Amino acid sequence: MSTNVNRRQFERIALNPAYTQVAVRLLDEDHFTLQGHTYDISEGGVQFELDRGIEPGTRIALQITLPEAFRGQYADIGPGRSVFVFGTVVWLEDEDERGPVRMAAVFTSFAREGDRERLLRQLAAKAARRAA
């Protein structure tokens, strides 16, 4: 009998980090100053890496640009290619290791009207392709 319990509220969709950019800014900054890559995403949060770690509990804004293949038939153009969210960093890998630091954030709100719906459409399209 397995004792592994999935405590996640939302299904995570794995992404190819090489093609999924994320830009991050601390809320006291005027623009996105950190660039990195996304590993997985769900309706409720994202796992990503940056060149430097951000302490858990820190509130951030993220611009997540999903790759063309992920957007599929729901491909948006222009600013619609990105989803803008506010979130809180919930965990951080050991930042003393060499290279980029992996961390995760839980979403607290979507920054623009329609961003949540856009993300949900894209997640549903990706899940449907994976199940086929």
In this prediction, residue 57 has a pLDDT band, given cuts at 50, 70 and 90, of: very high
Q: Which band of pLDDT confidence, cut at 50, 70 and 90, is reported for residue 130?
A: low
Please write the tens of the pLDDT for every residue from 69-119: 554 554 554 445 789 999 999 999 976 777 899 999 999 999 998 899 888
Give the pLDDT of residue 51.
93
What is the spatial distance between Cα 73 and Cα 113, in angstroms, rounded to a whole number? 21
8-state DSSP, 52: S
60-93 burial string, b = 16+ CB within 10 Å, else e? bbbbbebeeebbeeeeeeeeebbbbbebbbeebe
The C-alpha atoms of residue 96 and residue 32 are separated, in whole angstroms, by: 24
Domain chopping of the chain, boundaries: 13-131
pLDDT computed for residue 94 by the predictor? 79
Q: Which residue has the higher pLDDT, 66 or 2?
A: 66
Q: Which helix (H) or strand (E) element contains residue 132? A: none
Residue 100 CB neighbour total at 10 angstroms: 17
pLDDT of residue 64: 93
**What confidence tens digit (pLDDT) does each residue in 3-52 have?**
555 555 777 888 876 778 999 999 999 999 999 999 999 999 999 999 99
Give the architecture-level CATH label for domain 13-131.
Answer: Beta Barrel (2.40)
Residue type, 1: M
Cβ atoms of 15 and 38 closer than 8 Å: yes
Indicate the burial class of 6 (C-beta count within 10 angstroms; 0-12, 13-18, 19 or more). Answer: exposed
